[in-house]
């Protein structure tokens, strides 16, 4: 994960190759698949990027958002690989959670090389939050209770067991000195929105997610953020929330956000979508969305993004082996 985090911390900006090239291809029915239920980070990625593409007239008409939940993104991945592998109209929201599942072999029979990786649109730092009425005021408070009685705390997240939201909890627990990470209880849900709903219902005691998917619940006052997993405080709406590092726990969790496309998408369509994502990222409209939602700069596309994802998958595989999630 070290390369991923370094990129996010440095505010990595790779030249997007913005051009005014006229493409022979234009999507007839542009669509973005969000591999989870509405309300989570992938849904945010599809809907916000799709709206900017529409507003800037980078795509004809509107971008249809299709939610395909299940398997921490695996159901959508299999749908694209097996049934829509040559669909030129389609892009799919992806993130570190996607890389985590691929690195752990959690998409049975599927690998990262079966799709084409388009580009990133920023990095989203993780948060650990509780309901507004929770007795826990700080992250050390929560971790102390976890050490005292592991069965008393359950964490909810929008990724499957072993996914990115789970990994963030384990990294925090390890930093707090918890030796047996297998004692940490994690409950997966199909998207961050559903995970927060279960938190508010009292089914779980804490939430592990990303700043963008937590923002609406923060703004409504339903949850309180105990810690942001960033190297320093975020700007904008999250500037009042302390980092884990401020509280004595050296934990960083940077979740990149971007898109992949069907593996047999034509080269013309692939370059069209790379260009559309690049122009979206460079726009003032997207910069404003990034600022409001706590997204850090991360601008990679085409071959550079493909290599970046490959490195992420490899590093997550290594981390997962170190904490005993996989052999």
Specify if 327 maps to a domain. Answer: no
Q: Are residues 22 and 108 part of one domain?
A: yes
Tell whether the model's pLDDT for residue 148 goes beyond 80.
Answer: yes
Average pLDDT over residues 215-221: 90
Average pLDDT over residues 150-179: 90
Tell whether the model's pLDDT for residue 254 goes beyond 90.
Answer: no
Specify if 82 maps to a domain. Answer: yes
Q: Which of these three, 216, 247, 278, is where a domain ends?
A: 247
pTM: 0.72
Residue 135: other Cβ atoms inside 10 A: 9
Provide the pLDDT for residue 231: 86
CA separation for the pair 299, 292 (Å, rounded): 18
Q: Which of these three, 191, 218, 247, is where a domain ends?
A: 247
Range of the domain at 228: 125-247
Specify if 168 maps to a domain. Answer: yes
Specify if 189 maps to a domain. Answer: yes
Q: What is the pLDDT of residues 272-322, one digit of tens each?
A: 999 999 999 999 999 999 988 878 888 999 999 999 999 889 878 877 887
Q: What is the pLDDT of residues 55-87, one digit of tens each?
A: 999 999 999 999 999 998 999 999 999 999 999
Residue 173 contacts residue 184 (beta carbons within 8 Å): yes
Three-class SS of residue 147?
helix
Provide the pLDDT for residue 229: 94
Q: Are residues 261 and 112 part of one domain?
A: yes
Average pLDDT over residues 147-151: 92
CA separation for the pair 264, 242 (Å, rounded): 45
Number of domains in the chain: 2
Q: Are residues 97 and 80 part of one domain?
A: yes
Looking at every residue in the chain, the average pLDDT score rounds to 89
Provide the pLDDT for residue 122: 94
Tell whether the model's pLDDT for residue 7 goes beyond 70.
Answer: no
Three-class SS of residue 264?
coil
Q: Which of these three, 193, 228, 247, is where a domain ends?
A: 247
Q: Are residues 119 and 8 part of one domain?
A: yes
Q: Can you state the percent helix, strand and coil of the chain, rounding each to 5?
A: 45, 20, 35
């Amino acid at each position: 994960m070290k390369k991923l985090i370094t990129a996010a911390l440095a505010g990595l900006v790779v030249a997007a190759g913005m051009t005014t090239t006229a493409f022979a291809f234009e999507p007839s029915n542009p669509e973005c698949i969000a591999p989870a239920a509405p309300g989570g980070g992938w849904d945010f990625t599809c809907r916000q990027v799709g709206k900017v593409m529409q507003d800037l007239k980078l795509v004809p008409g509107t971008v249809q958002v299709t939610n395909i939940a299940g398997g921490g993104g695996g159901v959508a991945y299999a749908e694209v690989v097996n049934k829509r592998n040559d669909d030129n109209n389609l892009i799919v929201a992806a993130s570190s959670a996607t890389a985590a599942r691929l690195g752990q072999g959690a998409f049975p029979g599927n690998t990262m090389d079966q799709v084409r990786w388009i580009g990133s649109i920023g990095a989203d730092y993780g948060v650990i939050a509780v309901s507004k009425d929770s007795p826990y005021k700080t992250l050390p408070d929560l971790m102390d209770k976890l050490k005292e009685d592991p069965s008393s705390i359950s964490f909810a997240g929008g990724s499957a067991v072993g996914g990115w939201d789970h990994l963030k909890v384990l990294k925090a627990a390890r930093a707090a000195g918890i030796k047996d990470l297998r004692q940490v209880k994690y409950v997966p849900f199909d998207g961050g929105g559903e995970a927060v709903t279960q938190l508010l219902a009292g089914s779980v005691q804490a939430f592990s997610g990303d700043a963008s998917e937590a923002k609406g619940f923060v703004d409504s006052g339903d949850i309180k953020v105990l810690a942001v997993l960033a190297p320093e405080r975020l700007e904008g709406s999250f500037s009042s929330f302390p980092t884990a590092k401020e509280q004595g726990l050296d934990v960083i969790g940077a979740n990149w956000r971007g898109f992949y496309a069907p593996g047999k998408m034509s080269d013309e369509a692939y370059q069209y979508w790379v260009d559309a994502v690049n122009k979206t990222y460079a726009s003032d409209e997207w910069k404003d969305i990034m600022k409001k939602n706590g997204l850090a700069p991360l601008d990679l596309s085409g071959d550079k993004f493909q290599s970046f994802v490959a490195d992420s998958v490899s590093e997550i595989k290594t981390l997962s082996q170190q904490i005993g999630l996989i052999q």
